[in-house]
Amino acid sequence: MERTLAMIKPDATERGIAGKIISRIEDEGFCVLGMRMLSMTLTQAQGFYAVHRERPFFDDLTAFMSSGQTIVLVLEREDAIRCWRDVMGATNPEEATEGTIRKEHGESIERNSTHGSDAPDTAAFEIGYWFSGADFSS
């Protein structure tokens, strides 16, 4: 079994579609081990996305992610990272495959409703960032 971090971004929570996304997560066979809603501060967003600090989109991304409520989840299943990324679809909703969350709910490359870890080391960092000290043992 593998774990990954998923986020339902502020654009999705403000439109009231978080429940649809959570239902989709469960329908896809993920076990939700942890979930919390938070209003990310700019400092938290900058820390979480620090890997992108030198990228031109960093300021816009962190401002957006600290603009409203976000739901962060720890998901578990076989091949969780790849499976969640497949369910989300391409970062740009215009390029996402039909039936993916970003194709169905994303509004733009920034307001694309969801986030997911891209590798095991990233998942470990991201889960620890939002769920520090949490025990997900079964």
Alpha helices in the chain (DSSP H): 10-14, 18-27, 42-48, 58-65, 80-88, 101-105, 120-130
Of 115, 123, 127, 131, the catalytic one is 115
Task: Give the torsion sign (CA, 15, 11, 6, 65).
Answer: negative
Instruction: Identify whether 115 is a catalytic site residue.
Output: yes
Q: Can you say whether residue 91 is alpha, beta or left, with left for phi > 0 and alpha for psi between -120 and 50 degrees?
A: alpha
Specify the pairing of strand 114-116 against strand 2-8: antiparallel
Q: 3-state class of 123 per DSSP?
A: helix
Q: Which residues are catalytic?
A: 115
